[in-house]
Structure 1
Amino acid sequence: MKIATLFTALTCNLVFIGTTMALPLDKIQLPQGFSIDLYAENVENARQMALGENGTVFVGSRKAGKVYALIDSDNDFKADKKIIIAKDLFMPSGLAYHNGSLYVAEVDKIWRYPAIEASLPIIAKPELVFDKLPNKAHHGWKFIAFGPAGHLYIPVGAPCNVCESDLPFASILKLNVDTKQTTIVAKGVRNSVGFDFHPVTGELWFTDNGRDMMGDDLPDDELNHTTQIGQHFGFPYVHNTNIHDPDFTNAKIAKLNTPPVLTLGAHVAALGMEFYQGSQFPAAFQQSILIAQHGSWNRTNKVGYRVMQVELKDSKVIAYKPFATGWLDGEQSWGRPVDVMTLTDGSILISDDFANAIYRVSYTKQ
């Protein structure tokens, strides 16, 4: 793929967002006091989001191959401008905003758009940050985020449903964007497409999708917590706490398995997650985790298609309950949540790559 095709320096596609057929937001069920509205529509295959210092909402995609900037120019919590920052990329699902720059993850490369908000609507030529990632498309799309020490965390999914593979496959690594040095943070991670850092300890917490073809109810997706560099989380030999894989055995590595903090349900496809640190929601939400569950594709009865809340006390799970449901109606779904992100006012955005939409959930004190 030629760079000239990937990027058009100093140009962009600016679209003023209009209204199309209304999505059935009345079907979404939320706790008392919460409401949901449409923040943006026609955002094709919307995946991970990142928030700029000036309030720009950046959105990646997977199938669409595009990266967007959404601008709410009149501060009414509805985007009225959409800028296509890049197109024809290799599954640019993951992105992060750091020190004024937008970082975009293709399957095999990391790009940086310097001073992105200062230049909009003009898009300057991006800088290649790192190009040593595997180019396997299977579980190759990324979710990226900068950690407390300023390193960029990047997952590398297993190139299969279940298999033995060499590192860096089935891992999460961190990249020093200046020296280009990488460190394996977690091993035995089948496919993480969501993580965040504990607001007190700074430790990495992440979701991981369980393998397929073990039936409707095995194994669960996981919420995991790293406490030291290089921990092993079992894949492909052991799933969850002690479910041994029927196809692959390695007793030595299986003993290294770090059990999940919480099992999330089989095939729910847990993706983006975030520790809520806003000021708008009730106190019970402080430092709880919101997890977007994309929903099952190969289960007899569909599950997921929702956003869940995990309540913590001293890093221990005390509750796991629905926060936003209604995208699944019986066996029919009209939306699939992918990522959650808190705005500066304390409301949250939810991306949906099936309905091509971004929703805003806000709270009004009763």
Structure 2
Amino acid sequence: MSTLLKISFVSLSLLISSNIFALPLDKLSLPEGFKIEVYAEGVTNARQMALGKTGIIYVGSRGEGKVHAVVDENQDGSADKVVLIAEGLTMPSGLTYRNGDLYVAEVSKIHKFSNIDQTYASSPKSEIVIDGLPEEKHHGWKNIDFGPDGWLYVPIGAPCNICETIDDGKFNDPRFASILKFDLANDKHEWVAKGVRNSVGFDWHPVTKELWFSDNGRDWMGDDIPPCEINHVSEPGQHFGYPYFHGGDIPDPEFGGDKKPQDYRFPAYNLGAHVAPLGIHFYQGKQFPAEFKHRLFVAEHGSWNRSTKSGYRVMMATIENDKVTDYQPFIEGFLNEQDDAWGRPVAMLTLPDGSLLVSDDFANVIYKVTYKK
């Protein structure tokens, strides 16, 4: 990326975050009947979201190092205030809510803020429930969530663009490039998936209860390869190919060597190169039309080093019999005609009324998508 392009990118972000101009929501296109509006603004670097039992939305961040609570006090469908819960954390991108407690992921540890709905406004203290995770920041930020089995799922990204993480002398830790799950009650963990370069979003299929996750492809193989991926775990511990293969059967020029692609799990669906899929979310609400039920929404955060930008949109995948049969845009328009981005979608969350929240860590807002026939 050129210096001039970096300056333009940062300058646009500063203008948006300082509210010098309003977000051009009229430039966004959605399917007929859908409407998008700002649910909350001033949510700096908004990343993963979690819904509390009282309706409060909890939001993580990455570079900002903060966790916020977004509160709709009068319950009119739009946030009234944004409250700082914690700051000074190391990339607390991911969080989840369970039994009244908020779990927040730093790079190397997981916090628990007990009874968060009553304490969020009083600088609550946390306890560490998982410690000793790798400290490398490269791909160290993570989304987390509790699975249908009650275990806490935690991805650990590769500490590099491309490298082996076992017995190479520098990153000798088998936990890298994987998804783990933790039984907090019994202090044990198991592997869910291996060979995963950088997953920053996952969800469970509402019917099969099997895990689906996004994975960001490696850099510096060109504008158009390798693809980013949507993956499906059908058996615990499956290996998805990194760093040996990308997109299923594209050998890595450095590590492909004498490996065989059939020895690894192929992606469920290959996306465009560098689109950077982050949050993925199965829609289970009742507000959208029936054909949207169980569709998988995918936040393509957008490329950072492609000569022409790709991604910067929310997509939707139709899944039938564990196969992606269709992949279409849901929200487009975050890129203007000059190839400048004014928004970057990150994660989705369905509210009890069936509306869909979408976080944006570039515009520092949370959008709300509704449907009216």
Q: What TM-score, normalized by structure 2, do the two folds share?
A: 0.91
Identical counterparts, % of pairs = 56
| 1:334 alignment partner in structure 2 | 342
**Deviation for aligned residue 1:107:** 0.3
Residue 241 of structure 2 aligns with an amino acid whose one-letter code is G
Query: Which one has a larger percent strand, Structure 1 or Structure 2?
Result: 1
| 1:187 alignment partner in structure 2 | 194
**Deviation for aligned residue 1:127:** 1.1
| 1:241 alignment partner in structure 2 | 248
Q: Distance in 1 between matches of 2:236 and 2:305?
A: 34
Q: Distance in 2 between matches of 1:347 and 1:76?
A: 13
Residue 322 of structure 1 aligns with an amino acid whose one-letter code is P
Q: Distance in 1 between matches of 2:91 and 2:124?
A: 21
- Asked whether the equivalents of residues 234 and 253 of structure 1 are also in contact (C-alpha less than 8 Å), the reply is no
* Counterpart pick for 2:362 among 341, 354, 363: 354
How big is each residue's C-alpha offset from its partner over 1:96-135, in whole Å with a ceiling of 9 and x where there is no partner? 0111110000000000011111334234321110112100
Q: Distance in 1 between matches of 2:185 and 2:358?
A: 32
Confirm whether residue 210 of structure 1 aligns to residue 210 of structure 2: no
**Deviation for aligned residue 1:254:** 4.2
How big is each residue's C-alpha offset from its partner over 1:293-342, in whole Å with a ceiling of 9 and x where there is no partner? 11001111101000000011232212100000010113111010011111
In structure 1, the gaps of 5 or more residues are: 1-17
- Asked whether the equivalents of residues 292 and 338 of structure 1 are also in contact (C-alpha less than 8 Å), the reply is yes
Give RMSD over aligned pairs. Answer: 1.4
**Deviation for aligned residue 1:185:** 0.6
- Asked whether the equivalents of residues 112 and 127 of structure 2 are also in contact (C-alpha less than 8 Å), the reply is yes
- Asked whether the equivalents of residues 244 and 251 of structure 2 are also in contact (C-alpha less than 8 Å), the reply is yes
Q: Secondary structure at 1:266's aligned position in 2?
A: coil
Q: Secondary structure at 1:334's aligned position in 2?
A: coil
- Asked whether the equivalents of residues 233 and 256 of structure 1 are also in contact (C-alpha less than 8 Å), the reply is no
Q: Distance in 2 between matches of 1:261 and 1:254?
A: 15
| 1:260 alignment partner in structure 2 | 267
| 1:224 alignment partner in structure 2 | 231
| 1:99 alignment partner in structure 2 | 99
**Deviation for aligned residue 1:184:** 1.0
- Asked whether the equivalents of residues 195 and 241 of structure 2 are also in contact (C-alpha less than 8 Å), the reply is yes
Confirm whether residue 322 of structure 1 aligns to residue 329 of structure 2: yes
Q: Secondary structure at 2:270's aligned position in 1?
A: strand
In structure 2, the gaps of 5 or more residues are: 1-17, 167-173
| 1:201 alignment partner in structure 2 | 208
Residue 345 of structure 1 aligns with an amino acid whose one-letter code is D
Q: Secondary structure at 1:333's aligned position in 2?
A: coil
Q: Secondary structure at 1:234's aligned position in 2?
A: coil
**Deviation for aligned residue 1:179:** 1.8
Q: Distance in 2 between matches of 1:252 and 1:211?
A: 18
- Asked whether the equivalents of residues 116 and 123 of structure 1 are also in contact (C-alpha less than 8 Å), the reply is no
Counting matched residue pairs gives 348
Residue 306 of structure 2 aligns with an amino acid whose one-letter code is R
| 1:77 alignment partner in structure 2 | 77
Residue 370 of structure 2 aligns with an amino acid whose one-letter code is S
Q: Secondary structure at 2:60's aligned position in 1?
A: strand
- Asked whether the equivalents of residues 198 and 204 of structure 1 are also in contact (C-alpha less than 8 Å), the reply is yes
Q: What TM-score, normalized by structure 1, do the two folds share?
A: 0.93
| 1:175 alignment partner in structure 2 | 182
- Asked whether the equivalents of residues 310 and 319 of structure 1 are also in contact (C-alpha less than 8 Å), the reply is yes
| 1:114 alignment partner in structure 2 | 114
Moved more, 278-287 or 307-316: 307-316
Alignment of 1:262-341 (within 5 A): 262-330=269-337, 331-341=339-349
| 1:6 alignment partner in structure 2 | none
| 2:169 alignment partner in structure 1 | none
Q: Secondary structure at 1:328's aligned position in 2?
A: coil
